[in-house]
Structure 1
Amino acid sequence: MSALSQSRTTFQSSELSRASAEVFAAATDHPVEVTRRDGESLVLMSESADRARTALLELAVKLVAVSTNTDGTLVTRMIDRFPWMLALSTADQQTCANDILTAARASFATNQPHLAIAELTAWRETATAVAAGLGREPVEWLDETLVVELP
């Protein structure tokens, strides 16, 4: 399979039967359009791409709710939609809100759902770790530099 065929984004419906491996390989990498003579084109994509798009839409619904509400600060409106943020410090709540909004804007602008989903997941996991008490232990830093030989 050539690199050119992997980057194709449009296939004719007849190619599904003649060259299904090529169509499926392309759809694994990115959504592809399957054109039909007798009907509307279809889009074929991996299940993970579909889940990412769904998650991004769910995030968009929450962010629209946050942006249309005028009660309270951005952080309090974000906490209303993402209650796990309560586990974060006040400073981290502000940073979290800004980071999620920035990543969401980048995702919407570039059609790359993973940017916002990864940011949201990272902050939620951080809040979960903080709530579980992780990170309360003092960190013991080594004062001396250790030289490690190459394997």
Structure 2
Amino acid sequence: MSVREVPFSDIQNKGKATLSEWQRSGARPLRVTRRDDEDLVLMTATRAEQEHEVLAAATAMVGALLHTENRALVRTVVEAAFPWVSYLSNEEAAEFIDELVASMRAGSSLDNPAPIARTIETWRHTAEVYADPELARILSTPSEGDFGTVPAPEL
């Protein structure tokens, strides 16, 4: 789905006209672009509640699917949603699925998609390494010497 965009200045300078046009267009989410900070998304409260309900339903369905004995079906469903899972070993794919469901439950209960997005991003990067044999070789080659303490990543 494409999201319509407007600059933040349109909200400031032509607020009423911009919002009226947005409402006439069906009040689909509107990306408000900013030069000085992260973009914003304008949507109705009803739409936000609907998106939350969809996430909660998807989380429940994936959780129910995982309780089946048919692990092949689970893997098939996850690979359909995330084709890059095919680059992971069976053990890694199972670990990804477990982490995905746990983060979906936690994120849904907190009304925060960040844990889910972080889980998907982390595992996608792992699959990207496996998909590139040269990169996998470089990263799996032991380094020479200790390069000191690695600082914790900023989240």
- Scaled by the length of structure 1, the TM-score of the pair is 0.49
- Scaled by the length of structure 2, the TM-score of the pair is 0.48
Please say which structure displays the higher CA radius of gyration: 1
